[in-house]
Amino acid sequence: MLKNEFSSLAVPQEPIYITMFGSFQLRWGDLIVEDSGSRAHKLWSVLEYLVAFRNKDISHLELQESLWGDSETDNFANTLKSLIYRIRTLLVNSGLPMAKDLIVYKRGIYSWNNSVATVVDCEVFEDLIKKASDPHMPGQQRIELYQKAIALYKGDFLPNSAYEPWVIPLSTYYHNLYIKCVCEAVELLRHLERYDEIPHLQGCQSD
């Protein structure tokens, strides 16, 4: 479970765990909210975008350009306001804590509420690889960090939104980072002559 995979992280409260690899899912305790991939695609796209860029303020214009592109949208402000309302309703009905407050709006700016403890798999993935890349760290510790990162990569970044222009570069970035992670782990295992563990790693066989 995602919760167990992040169990070593110190957070001041039970966080909302968000999966973006392989699927888009929000989990809090036993509650799960996920994109089935079959309905309300634009609703999920807005929510995914706010999570993916949760450390920045996002304007109406950025959302329109990133999610609607050049397509003409009459009265975009009202369209977006309706989508945000539907997202909040979805989150409230799911029982997630502080559901009404997870998306912050102020003076035309939207953002994810980072005062709510939130753990996102791709952020943890990137952080683990950054730490494991330290050449001064003992090989065993580096391997363990790489293995944790590999375990988090359940598939491509936001596969149900794979053709969204803003998703494509991020998906490519994380996939390349995953390949790099696996290959470096393989090299470390070879250096320590732990050849029997190499077949258990995924992603480097064809590269």
d(CA 199, CA 44): 37
- Residue 69 has a pLDDT of 73
Task: Note the residue count of the chain.
Answer: 207
Angle of helix 60-67 relative to helix 41-52, nearest 10 degrees, comes to 120
CA atoms within 13 A on the CB side of 81: 8
Residues 7-34: tens digit of each pLDDT: 444 444 688 999 999 999 999 988 899 8
Where is average pLDDT lowest: 27-36, 70-79, 163-172?
A: 70-79
Residue type, 51: V
Tell me the mean pLDDT in the region 152-181: 94
Angle of helix 41-52 relative to helix 76-94, nearest 10 degrees, comes to 80
Residues 84-129: tens digit of each pLDDT: 999 999 899 888 878 889 999 888 899 999 999 999 999 999 999 9
- Residue 125 has a pLDDT of 97
User: Three-class SS of residue 88?
Assistant: helix
Residues 76-91: tens digit of each pLDDT: 778 888 889 999 998 9
C-alpha separations of 190 from 146, 175, 196 in Å: 14, 23, 9
> pTM of the prediction?
0.85
